[in-house]
Amino acid sequence: MEIYYKSETLRLALSLFIKKKEKIGFVPTMGALHLGHMSLVERALRENDCVVVSIFVNPTQFNNPEDLEKYPKTLENDVALIETLNENVLIYTPNVSDIYKNNISSKKYRFSGLEHEMEGKHREGHFDGVGTVLDKLFRIITPTKAYFGEKDFQQLQVVKKLVEIELLPVSIIGCSIVREKSGLAMSSRNKRLTESQKSEASLINKTLIEVVNKFKTESISELNKYVNDIFNKHPNLALEYFEIANVKTLKTAKRKRKENTYRAFIAVFTGNVRLIDNIALN
């Protein structure tokens, strides 16, 4: 395992793999690595000759300065975790100027409307920031395949659109959500929760599982009411949104149609930490 801080030195190292026509896997992260990230890296190692893990807290995708400032930074731990894999992993942890030079701003994208739903409504400019940084990282790393967790299901769809728009020759691979024993989806933000907040937050996944159980027999408006009622009874968990959406368009579904595939999406504040999760319904 090697650590690279500059795109030029990383490119130099990657050129050896590229010359031999070897496959480069890529796992983009903002650090504070957990078992969810590790499962992406392990899969990438199985499917490629080397894997780049980027660790970069991207300023342009945060609409909330406090969230950016408090985003957990645990580089030493992250490196130690990656070292346990003992394989061909290259860590790329640039500073802001290596990525943005002196222009820290995002490109304005149109992701066929995906960017206006859910996270897009609640985090203005978020997907422009994600698209901008990933476009830059994809061009530096030139991966064969890049791996993303389905916890950020909307991000995964946006990234698939991004590579279409930018004509980037990379396959985008979505990977299942990795959960704590309690069902809580693994997230770097969980590091900001106390033990009791973590256990309260397991209600998020429990509620989604109940929604799956009820999906066949109950209407979408009944399910919306069911979820809102549950969170109204839990003052420590503030529901930001719950939506059942069509997986292709991510548009909110008002009523079920047999031919469509749906997922339930949720965002909840536990104290001032914002958590998201989602689950397949049919």
Residue (133 or 230) nearer to ligand PAF, CB? 133
Least gap, CB of 36 to ligand PAF (angstroms): 10
Residue (115 or 152) nearer to ligand PAF, CB? 152
Least gap, CB of 214 to ligand PAF (angstroms): 30
Binding mask 136-165 for ligand PAF (x = CB under 6 A): ----------------x--x----------
Least gap, CB of 148 to ligand PAF (angstroms): 7
Residue (136 or 263) nearer to ligand PAF, CB? 136
Binding ligand PAF (rule: CB under 6 A), the pick from 114, 133, 178, 220 is 133
Binding ligand PAF (rule: CB under 6 A), the pick from 4, 29, 98, 119 is 29
Does 28 sit near ligand PAF (CB under 6 A)? yes
CB distance 266 to 208 below 8 Å: yes
Residue (177 or 227) nearer to ligand PAF, CB? 177
Binding region for ligand PAF (CB under 6 A) out of 24-32, 64-72, 95-103, 161-169: 24-32
